[in-house]
Amino acid sequence: METVKREETVVGILEEDVLFSLEELCRSCFLPAEQLLEMVDEGIIEPVNYQQTTTSWQFAGNSVVRVRTVIRLQRDLGVNLAGAALAVELLDEIKALRKSPQHGH
């Protein structure tokens, strides 16, 4: 049963249309809300609707992947938050370029 739940979670994370509340994102990434709010400030993750209060914010499923990538960059390479934000942005651009039809493979 645990394996099935884990697989559903991983599939859900990869789907953009799955939304996480701030609290759910905290639990999924094992981080306090303050750290996630810093990531919002750096542009690493973005709530679906900024107009709402932070307790009502919803985040796309790919936010979990982005946060976990930042955590790894900070832990493994000692990258600061601004550097991790840049790295995640560049990784997204590389991924988009690889998917583009002009890539030529």
Give residue-wise pLDDT tens across range 16-73.
678 999 999 999 999 999 999 999 999 999 999 877 788 889 999 899 999 999 999 9
Least confident of 6-10, 48-52, 85-89: 6-10
What is the residue range of 6's domain? 2-103
Which CATH number fits the domain that encloses residue 80?
1.10.1660.10
Torsion of the alpha carbons at 22, 16, 70 and 100, rounded to the nearest 10:
-160
CA 49 to chain centre: 16
Long-range Cβ contact pairs of 68-74 (< 8 A, separation 24 or more): 68/29, 70/39, 70/44, 71/29, 71/31
Q: Is residue 29 within 8 Å of residue 63, measured between CB atoms?
A: no
Q: How many domains does the chain have?
A: 1
pLDDT of residue 1: 42
pLDDT of residue 105: 55
Which helix (DSSP H) or strand (DSSP E) does residue 83 occupy?
helix 81-99
Crossing angle for the helix pair 33-42 and 62-77, nearest 10 degrees? 100
Q: Is residue 88 within 8 Å of residue 46, measured between CB atoms?
A: no
